[in-house]
């Protein structure tokens, strides 16, 4: 069971607070989100590629300036041979963590969009080595991207190969206590099929609300369908708009997240309007999310 999951549903916890708190909860449109007795705390970060600093420790400094809690860091690229596998590069990130006080909650292998995990043999080593990097940096999650050339939608053979490769690496990930998160255009049920076929607690879904809503999925139902046990982390994203100004209803996302008991990391991706700087956009995006997802006090 994912440690970020809670045993009680949101409705059960609200009922447990008693009639007085329930009455107060319904007095405000936001109150039901915060009516449960336990403290609900979320940490909010952003991928280094969204901060314009992919594969660069400077992303942690930018994150600190914005007020983010952490940075999702790229494993690397084809050009630098997935440089985070190098112990010297790892040390640079460890130094940056200490210097800026910003965490690294997860890694991302975005190069899989160009060099597909479903077909290129080089990626087998990359994904396996990501386990070692996670252990070295104390990270629990690595996002595996399946877009562009790596798209799995309507590619049964590609899915079959990904399942086979994940089955091979899953025991190593399980032993290390780390997780691979699949981010793709697949539906919740298609993701669950992969998870079931791999048969490992180290394979979950990295849920991107904007990617999924653009595929026509009911993301609020999908979050509940997947449940906390199958979601390792979230991307909160819009394309060409600030969060709250696009396709996604983030209040409904919060309600769905409450229902499944997720209290883990949230990463802001993209959400930069035309003519607005990354830093200004992310300050606004962070403020918007903090109103819905309070942080640690």
The pLDDT, as a whole number, for residue 237 is 98
pTM: 0.87
Q: What is the 3-state secondary structure (H, E, C) of the chain?
A: CCCCCCCCCHHHHHHHCCHHHHHHHCCCCCHHHHCCCCCCCCEEEEECCCCCCCCCCHHHHHHHHHCCCEEEEECCCCCCCCHHHCHHHHHHHHHHHHHHCCEEEEEEEHHHHCCCCCCCCHHHHHHHHHHHHHHHHCCCEEEEEECHHHCCCCCHHHHHHHHHHHHHHHHHHHHHCCEEEEEECCCHHHHHHHHHHHCCCCEEEEEEHHHHHHCCCCHHHHHHHHCHHHEEEEEEEECCCCCCCCCCCHHHHHHHHHHHCCCCEEEEEECCCCCCCHHHHHHHHHHHHHHHCCCCC
Helix 250-260 vs helix 219-226: crossing angle, to nearest 10: 20
Q: What is the pLDDT of residues 33-57, one digit of tens each?
A: 443 434 568 999 999 999 999 999 9
Q: Which two tokens stand for residue 294?
A: 């309070």
Decide if pLDDT at 286 tops 60. yes
Q: Bigger pLDDT: 192 or 9? A: 192
Q: Which two tokens stand for residue 240?
A: 């060409």
Neighbours of 130 (CB within 10 A): 26
Q: How confident is the model at residue 295 (pLDDT cuts 50, 70, 90)?
A: confident
Q: What whole-number percentage of the chain has pLDDT above 70? A: 86
Q: Bigger pLDDT: 256 or 8? A: 256
**Domains along the sequence of the chain with CATH:** 8-38 (no CATH), 43-292 (3.20.20.150)
The pLDDT, as a whole number, for residue 5 is 59
Decide if pLDDT at 27 tops 50. no
Q: What is the pLDDT of residues 11-24, one digit of tens each?
A: 444 444 443 333 33
What's the mean pLDDT in 220-242? 98
Neighbours of 164 (CB within 10 A): 12
CA distance 243 to 60: 21
What's the mean pLDDT in 101-124? 98
As a whole number of Å, the CA-based R_g of the chain is 19
What's the mean pLDDT in 161-172? 98
Decide if pLDDT at 7 tops 90. no
Nearest Cα neighbor of 256 from 226, 284, 211, 278 is: 226
Q: What is the pLDDT of residues 196-208, one digit of tens each?
A: 999 999 999 999 9
Q: Which two tokens stand for residue 163?
A: 């399942």
Which residues are CB-neighbours of 127 under 8 A, at least 6 positions away? Answer: 109, 117, 142, 144, 165, 169, 180
Decide if pLDDT at 25 tops 80. no
Nearest Cα neighbor of 112 from 151, 84, 55, 81 is: 151
Quick check: 12 and 261 in contact, CB under 8 A?
Answer: no
- Taking CA atoms, 244 is separated from 31, 263, 291, in Å, by 19, 20, 11
Helix 58-66 vs helix 278-292: crossing angle, to nearest 10: 60
The pLDDT, as a whole number, for residue 41 is 81
What pairs with residue 108 in β-bridges?
Answer: 74, 143
């Amino acid at each position: 069971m994912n440690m970020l999951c809670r045993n009680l549903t949101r409705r059960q916890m609200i009922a447990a607070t008693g009639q007085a708190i329930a009455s107060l909860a319904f007095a405000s449109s936001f109150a039901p989100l915060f009516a449960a007795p336990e403290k609900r705390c979320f940490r909010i970060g952003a991928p280094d590629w969204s901060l314009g600093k992919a594969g660069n420790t400077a992303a942690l400094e930018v994150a600190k300036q914005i007020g983010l809690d952490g940075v999702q860091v790229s494993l690397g690229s084809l050009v630098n041979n997935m440089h985070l596998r190098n112990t010297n590069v790892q040390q640079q990130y460890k130094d940056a963590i200490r210097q800026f006080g910003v965490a690294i909650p997860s890694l991302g292998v975005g190069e899989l969009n160009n060099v597909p995990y479903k077909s290129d043999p080089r990626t087998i080593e990359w994904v396996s080595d990501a386990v070692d990097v996670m252990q070295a940096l104390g990270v629990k999650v690595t996002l595996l991207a399946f877009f562009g050339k790596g798209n799995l939608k309507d590619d049964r053979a590609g899915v079959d190969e990904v399942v086979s490769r994940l089955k091979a690496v899953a025991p190593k990930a399980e032993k290390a206590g780390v997780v691979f998160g699949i981010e793709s255009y697949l539906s919740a049920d298609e993701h669950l099929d992969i998870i079931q076929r791999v048969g490992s607690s180290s394979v979950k879904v990295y849920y991107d609300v904007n990617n999924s809503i653009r595929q026509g999925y009911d993301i609020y139902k999908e979050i509940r369908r997947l449940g906390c046990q199958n979601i390792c982390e979230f991307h909160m994203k819009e394309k060409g708009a600030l969060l709250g100004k696009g396709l996604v209803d983030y209040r409904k996302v919060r309600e769905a997240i409450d229902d499944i008991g997720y209290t883990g990391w949230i990463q802001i991706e993209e959400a930069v309007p035309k003519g607005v700087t990354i830093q200004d956009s992310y300050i606004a995006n962070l403020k918007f999310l903090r109103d819905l997802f309070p942080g640690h006090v």
